[in-house]
Amino acid sequence: MRLRNRTLLAFLLSCAALIPHTTHADSAPPGGGPEGPFTGFGTPFPKKGEAIVRFKQAAFRKANANLKQRFGNRTPSKNALWRELATLIGMRISQPVSGSSFVVKGTSINSSRLRSGVLKGFVSRVEPNYKVNAFAEPSDFFYRLGLLWGLNNTGANGSSKNVDVDAIEAWGMSQGSSDLVVAVIDTGVSLNHPDLVDNIWRNPQEIPNNNLDDDKNGFIDDFFGYDFVNNAPSPNDQMFHGTHCAGIIAAKNNNNRGIAGVAPNVKIMPLRVLNARGEGDVAGVMKAIRYAIDARKRGVNLRVINASLGGGDRVAGFEELLREANQVGIVFVAAAGNESNDNDTKPTYPANFESPNVISVAAIDKFGQLASFSNFGERSVDVAAPGVGIWSTFLFGFYLPFDGTSMAAPFVSGVAALMLSERPNLTPAQVISIIKSSSKRISGLEGAMVSPGIVSAERALRSL
């Protein structure tokens, strides 16, 4: 578990009345964050194989003449005219835009066919058909309150605008595929939380509650995942930690309720390895990873494991398992840890494993500053994500904010899930490489991680 002790204390104190804790002693004062720390915004993103072409009147004359030759004086239909225009430049017209402009397909704006069309005198202008994103504001309650700074930081309350993962912009491109599965290896997940219930994975080959292992994978009634703590079917959360992580990844958006996850259409597979006190062991975590790999091999589209936990030393068998997960295309997102340590000199596991599918995530606050508790490491920690004052799902259908690299890792899991929804053929190493290279640089994080910046779902998707 990579949740701060102080937070835990605050949680216990607030338990009776469920008062959200909102003070963050380690946060920078208003205005203390970086000003304009990012580079490369607004990168235009042309749709592949499409262009907007404006035809000259000469093209219309030629097209009409061709049609007349073929069909006589009968007035051609609009569709016939568009097709003929496309034929003149050797392409397909998919739709009229306005006046003499059309979207053409099966080309790019640099294609020689289009250039020859321009040369032939048929085309006066060729421009990219850029992707545009819906900037619709989600209806989710805590978003409306302006509390989900990790998704979209508007600079309210003195925070630093755009220190966020650009989720709203990303959702115009992808909200994730409903068959993509993220395994959350944690305390379980509150299975009937209204903001999560629709996004819990269901094992299609297993009949629940019949005391049989219908899909013969060695686990009886593993319908929603599995509880490796009790060797029992139901991975229901007895603490809150896994529920909180699951919400950051895939809580339902735009349902007028609670929060929204980074990848609000993907599925969560809860694998319970930590008990009600947040404690477990490496063997339990390894069993859960084994389960995830086997599920992937049996055809479940499981591409990401979120591991907001850690402890102990290097275990060779654990690393072997991670390499096997890498071979079947699973990204393993690990929290960097909350000891304020340098992971370069004081390694922590699983974050420090060197399997190419492991990405280690540090926590930053809404000012773009490394959280005081967050581990770091110029060589061993990859990137940063929001991890202070993160509102997400809690037990009993509630919501609460928590701090921790535990909260940062799920943001990265969500981004990876969006990417793999759009480009299923990416390898874990490619996913991680894009997440790192497309992150938004923050000068204050230099030296603290390999890619000193905050992950951006929008920029990662644009980089695909």
- Cβ-based nearer residue to Ca ion, 84 or 164: 164
Q: Report the DSSP beta bridge partners of residue 1.
A: none
- Cβ-based nearer residue to Ca ion, 159 or 355: 159
Do 235 and 226 meet the contact criterion of CB atoms below 8 Å apart?
A: yes
- Does 294 interact with Ca ion (rule: CB under 5 A)? no
Cα–Cα distance for residue pair 461/170, rounded to 1 Å? 7
String of DSSP letters for 375-434: -B-TTT--EEEE-SSEEEE-GGG-EEEE-SHHHHHHHHHHHHHHHHHH-TT--HHHHHHH
- Does 195 interact with Ca ion (rule: CB under 5 A)? yes
- Does 217 interact with Ca ion (rule: CB under 5 A)? yes
- Does 206 interact with Ca ion (rule: CB under 5 A)? yes
What DSSP designation does 342 have? Answer: B
Cα–Cα distance for residue pair 229/288, rounded to 1 Å? 10
CB of 21 to Ca ion, least distance (A): 21
User: Which residue in the list 140, 164, 166, 186 is annotated as catalytic?
Assistant: 186
User: Which residue in the list 221, 241, 360, 392 is annotated as catalytic?
Assistant: 241
- Does 198 interact with Ca ion (rule: CB under 5 A)? no
- Does 406 interact with Ca ion (rule: CB under 5 A)? no
- Cβ-based nearer residue to Ca ion, 217 or 341: 217
String of DSSP letters for 40-59: STT---EEEEEEEEEE-HHH
- Does 133 interact with Ca ion (rule: CB under 5 A)? no
Among residue numbers 378 through 397, which ones bind Ca ion (CB under 5 A)? none
Do 418 and 262 meet the contact criterion of CB atoms below 8 Å apart?
A: yes
Q: List, in order, residues 6 or more apart from 152 with CB less than 8 Å away.
A: 143, 164, 166, 167, 168
CB of 154 to Ca ion, least distance (A): 9
- Cβ-based nearer residue to Ca ion, 84 or 206: 206
Residue type, position 219, single letter: F
Question: Would residue 186 show up in a list of annotated catalytic residues for this protein?
Answer: yes
- Write the interaction track for Ca ion spanning residues 248-287; mark x where CB under 5 A is met and - where it is not: ----x--x-xx-----------------------------
Size of the site for Ca ion (CB under 5 A): 20
Question: Would residue 463 show up in a list of annotated catalytic residues for this protein?
Answer: no
- Does 428 interact with Ca ion (rule: CB under 5 A)? no
Q: Which region, judged by CB under 5 A, interacts with Ca ion, from 59-67, 98-106, 113-121, 189-197?
A: 189-197
Cα–Cα distance for residue pair 438/419, rounded to 1 Å? 12
Q: How many residues does this entry show for the chain? A: 464
- Does 54 interact with Ca ion (rule: CB under 5 A)? no
- Write the interaction track for Ca ion spanning residues 150-179; mark x where CB under 5 A is met and - where it is not: ------------x-x-x-------------
Residue type, position 326, single letter: N
Do 109 and 46 meet the contact criterion of CB atoms below 8 Å apart?
A: yes
- Cβ-based nearer residue to Ca ion, 26 or 213: 213
Cα–Cα distance for residue pair 215/202, rounded to 1 Å? 13
- Cβ-based nearer residue to Ca ion, 382 or 458: 458
Cα–Cα distance for residue pair 141/20, rounded to 1 Å? 15
Do 333 and 405 meet the contact criterion of CB atoms below 8 Å apart?
A: no
Do 366 and 163 meet the contact criterion of CB atoms below 8 Å apart?
A: yes
- Does 119 interact with Ca ion (rule: CB under 5 A)? no
- Does 342 interact with Ca ion (rule: CB under 5 A)? no
Can you give the binding site for Ca ion, defined by CB under 5 A? 140, 162, 164, 166, 195, 206-207, 210, 212-215, 217, 219, 221-222, 252, 255, 257-258
Report, as residue numbers or ranges, the catalytic residues.
186, 241, 406
